[in-house]
Chains A and B, each alone.
Chain A
């Protein structure tokens, strides 16, 4: 079996696990909870096997490198890291509540990269400078860190949404906006996929069937739809506020979980930046050159350092730190994706 097919199996398992964790939270049924954990563990093992398989495939092609080198491989690893960190967390803290955040995030990461058009899933050879053990450690630690931040972000969104008393609460709006942004991005990717696979129209780039369409009509409709979804979520979320809140662990626990995840992510990101610097130093003798990717990873690091001080020493709690966690995650995403697409786009004057 080829590795992509095996990835799809883990994808399905994470979807099942997502449903199971929700059922567990809704009914507080320990058996369902155990089943959710089991499915997640199996999904994780399958995904691990798929990564191993892909690694072997790369050797068969004569390239021979750990599958962490392009967008597709790193997204898969991101998903893997989210699930890994969550499973360790569940074991250490004997708390399954975060499953409803981690399992869908793990699912979304592989799902979106698997269906996105124009994302190469090919195994490619590495240029010489990228063949370094420092680089491998750098990618692994950075992504484990990113995964912890991702979970913290998910929990913080939940916190913002659930802690609001009123629909007009600015924090509630920020939380909903973050949730709807994620949802919309996934839906737009899905739409690209459907148009390409089902309607058979090749999509030249990401979101070509919606926000980045060449037809301004489609663009406008997409924006209206996005705003509509936001309005719906925003309205309905507040309507069922009590019932939603009853589903999830208490706010104090959410706040603490978000902080704990950043405590895990921060040392990992630190290690990631340090090993990245070590790699650069081995490759060309410069540990730090202020290139945009490096600088953005430093910005991310500074934001989380600010989070830790605000929370631990200045005594911020709850909503304000949750917003910092959301901002920190936005910086993570920008470091990972935005630098390549947005910043290099700014300077691509052929």
Chain B
């Protein structure tokens, strides 16, 4: 920052400025102080920690915090008090409290004030550089060099100008009686990188605000073959809302990894029906949502409804070795052809378990451990009840049957679970993020490089003073500066 001052010194003959500062000047100074910015960043970081230690509403179980306090204090009374106080001061929804917003507001104000205050000066440095190199500026420059060329001034100036051009510097010049001045700069835009970065933070805040004011997040379930427009608002599960159009789930599918236990991916085929008009069906999967009318549908979960059960049993006649597949859709009785054995489906358990009394039950409607209870009616009029485990085909609960039975397939109607999101701010967020990444790139990896040249005739030769600086990556600029000097020197020698 020191170098800035040297390039735009106040004109020595200007009258001393008498400026009365406006009353709000201390406020401006406060907001544009980098110390205030650093402290705000540190406070934001520290306060955020609380919300990661204590469970937050809508993410975790707030009741867990009481147990956490109990572990910490080892005393139920104090724990309860700590819990109540934390609740009152908003520690369980920290990121939505007024003071968290206030800190973000302070950060934004700081960013805006600071940028607006600095932009004019940055603009001056970029657009209205000082062309003429003065003796003091030369002496203070971090890179400087003096050459002496055996060329007339105009020719030496042409050589220097050509070298600047070749180095990619945009050039300005000023011709005075006693000296000729050249100025070249490149990468001036890199000074705007920081403004872009800071502005992008504001954009992200604005995008987030738009989303939270005008957007919504919800969840919906649709059973295969059914149509719905009912959504359940997130954060307030009892509140239902109605979409302006309907969605039908035509089909739902799950792919499993080898082994058949762990889902690899799941898919829903959805059709949007808007005012009776059907749109083309779209297949969505995890990470590939559907968008209609600004509302996004994300594949998020699935499950069995327990309705429309289908089970398929393979029966192998132990005498002949002939196999038959029998399909059940309810509790019907089917005959195994050629054996006289009939099977009566008693009950299907999608998620088989035993309750405390040891009775078979289903823990859920999810097909986690499908089991069929089948009454086997033998030709002699007796019957036996057997349980078929889909995951353990080797497990036989009854011995001595004339047929070997396995449950080969099991399904019930499934529902697809969809996150439904409307967020008008999300594009502002992505624009802000993109701007931030590019802004950082320019701020860090490009630099504003400037070179000043003064040419003056001294005793039949031309004395060339070179000075230069860069606002970043100064070591590399020093090398570039030296090469530039070498080039001018070499051409000058060759011509002279």
Contact = CB atoms under 8 A, between A and B. Distances in A.
A282 B52 contact: no
A302 B286 CA distance: 32
A267 B197 CA distance: 11
**Chain B interface residue number, banded:** 35 or more
A215 to B, nearest CB: 23
B17 interface: no
A290 B264 contact: no
Interface stretch (A23-31, A83-91, A339-347): A339-347
A347 B287 contact: no
Interface stretch (A113-121, A122-130, A176-184, A243-251): A122-130
B34 A309 contact: yes
Nearest to B43: A302
A274 B266 CA distance: 26
Given A62-B257, A283-B298, A271 B437 contact: yes
B358 interface: no
16 contacts: A128-B263, A270-B437, A274-B436, A278-B430, A283-B286, A295-B51, A298-B48, A299-B48, A299-B49, A302-B48, A305-B41, A306-B45, A309-B37, A310-B38, A343-B53, A347-B55
B208 A274 contact: no
Contacts of A271: 437
B51 A290 contact: yes
A52 interface: no
Interface in A267-316: 267, 270-271, 274, 277-278, 281-292, 295-296, 298-299, 302-303, 305-306, 309-310, 313-314
A131 interface: yes
A284 B45 contact: no
A286 B55 CA distance: 19
A132 B68 CA distance: 35
Nearest to A61: B258
Nearest to A335: B52
A296 B34 CA distance: 23
B344 to A, nearest CB: 39
A127 B217 contact: no
Contacts of B437: 267, 270-271, 274
Given A277-B429, A285-B419, A346-B68, 11 more contacts: A127-B262, A128-B263, A128-B264, A129-B286, A131-B287, A278-B433, A286-B419, A299-B49, A302-B42, A306-B42, A347-B55
Interface in B67-83: 67-68
B166 interface: no
B34 to A, nearest CB: 4
B300 A284 contact: yes
B28 to A, nearest CB: 17
B95 A274 contact: no
Nearest to B68: A346
Q: 3 closest A-B pairs (Cβ-Cβ)?
A: A285-B421, A128-B286, A292-B52
Interface in A168-205: none
A263 interface: yes
Interface string B372-405: 0000000000000000000000000000000000
A132 B287 contact: yes
A235 interface: no
B34 A313 contact: yes
A183 to B, nearest CB: 27
Given A285-B421, A289-B59, A128 B257 contact: no
B52 A302 contact: no
A309 B52 contact: no
Interface in B417-452: 419-421, 423, 426, 429-430, 433, 436-437, 440-441, 444
Contacts of B90: none
A285 B218 CA distance: 10
B265 interface: yes
Interface of B: 1, 34-35, 37-38, 41-42, 44-45, 48-49, 51-53, 55-56, 59-60, 64, 67-68, 95, 208, 217, 257-258, 262-266, 285-289, 296, 298, 300, 419-421, 423, 426, 429-430, 433, 436-437, 440-441, 444, 475
A314 B287 contact: no
A125 B42 contact: no
A314 B35 contact: yes
Interface residues of A, number: 47
B433 to A, nearest CB: 4
Contacts of B430: 278
Given A267-B444, A292-B52, A281 B262 contact: no
Contact of A277 (B52, B296, B300, B433): B433
Contacts of B441: 267
A284 B417 CA distance: 11
A127 B45 CA distance: 32
A131 B286 contact: yes
A314 B32 CA distance: 12
Contact of B52 (A125, A131, A295): A295
A290 B59 contact: yes
A268 B405 CA distance: 59
Nearest to B65: A347
A153 interface: no
Nearest to A288: B208
Contacts of B419: 284-286
Contacts of B53: 343, 346
A295 B48 contact: yes
Contacts of A331: 45
A180 B489 CA distance: 55
Contacts of B475: 93
B386 to A, nearest CB: 34
A207 interface: no
A240 interface: no
A347 B217 contact: no
A349 B64 contact: yes
Contacts of A284: 298, 300, 419
A291 B60 CA distance: 9
Interface string A322-349: 0000000001000000010001001101
A61 to B, nearest CB: 8
A223 interface: no
A63 interface: yes
A266 interface: yes
Contacts of A306: 38, 41-42, 45
Contacts of B59: 289-291
Contacts of A128: 263-266, 285-287
Interface in A132-178: 132
Given A62-B258, A285-B421, A290-B51, A274 B41 contact: no
Nearest to B114: A313
A303 B49 CA distance: 12
B423 A302 contact: no
B352 to A, nearest CB: 24
B359 to A, nearest CB: 26
A287 B208 CA distance: 10
A299 B296 CA distance: 30
A318 to B, nearest CB: 17
A266 B41 CA distance: 15
Contacts of B64: 347, 349
A125 B436 contact: no
A250 to B, nearest CB: 14
Contacts of A298: 45, 48
